[in-house]
Chains A and B, each alone.
Chain A
Amino acid sequence: DAGVIQSPRHEVTEMGQEVTLRCKPISGHDYLFWYRQTMMRGLELLIYFNNNVPIDDSGMPEDRFSAKMPNASFSTLKIQPSEPRDSAVYFCASTFRASGVTGELFFGEGSRLTVL
């Protein structure tokens, strides 16, 4: 398997523009997580899905942020409108749960977002 795949790897945009980040989890994984990493706050969980259903979005900072998972192999994180304080690296991660045991969490390479 190619691992968790994220796109784009880098995005530079201007304040007010819409940003869409994409993620393809590892095949067979039933959990998908979106994290944000900044120097000031470290890694923060934004939202996670189980079997394509959003379970906990309490980490989503504002209504400007939204996430979807239309099927088991694709998820998007959208920011509209974007602001300079949204500049960060956004990571997608996936894992599975079997026999009551949670597996390892695997991360993508991240999408580095810069909002000017």
Chain B
Amino acid sequence: KQEVTQIPAALSVPEGENLVLNCSFTDSAIYNLQWFRQDPGKGLTSLLLIQSSQREQTSGRLNASLDKSSGRSTLYIAASQPGDSATYLCAVKAAGNKLTFGGGTRVLVKP
């Protein structure tokens, strides 16, 4: 059974500092990995999708890497801003089209 873990559960950084969010999964037989952002009381917004054949994806200040063999992905957010405060979730898609989510990392960027 696929298990996805995100550590730490919460993170607080001063504005301008780079953010590093970690995601680990137990079964490396995945189709893709997706990072989401969730604001309080809102739905999930897709940030980046990495296919299993890719090693990284970039979008603006966001960069996500994928190491299937070690079961890890890292989301980097450069030069954090208070507007980046949210919960970030990673999810992996394996056989059966099921997406398994991590518990999320709650980020607070202090001005």
Contact = CB atoms under 8 A, between A and B. Distances in A.
Interface of A: 4, 31, 33, 42-43, 45, 48, 50, 55-56, 91, 93, 97, 101-110, 112
Q: Give the interface size bracket for B toward A.
A: 20 to 34
Shortest beta-carbon contacts, A-B, top 3: A107-B44, A107-B43, A43-B101
Interface stretch (B11-19, B63-71, B73-81, B91-99): B91-99
A9 B99 CA distance: 23
Contacts of B41: 112
A17 B98 CA distance: 30
18 contacts: A4-B43, A31-B97, A42-B104, A43-B89, A43-B91, A56-B97, A56-B98, A91-B44, A93-B44, A97-B97, A101-B51, A104-B49, A105-B34, A105-B46, A105-B91, A107-B45, A108-B43, A109-B43
B80 to A, nearest CB: 24
B110 to A, nearest CB: 24
Interface of B: 31-32, 34, 36, 41-46, 49, 51, 89, 91, 93, 96-99, 101-104
Pick the most buried of B41, B42, B43, B46: most chain A CB atoms within 10 A of its CB: B43
A109 B42 contact: yes
Contacts of A56: 96-98
Nearest to B4: A42
B99 A45 contact: yes
A45 B98 CA distance: 8
A101 B96 CA distance: 13
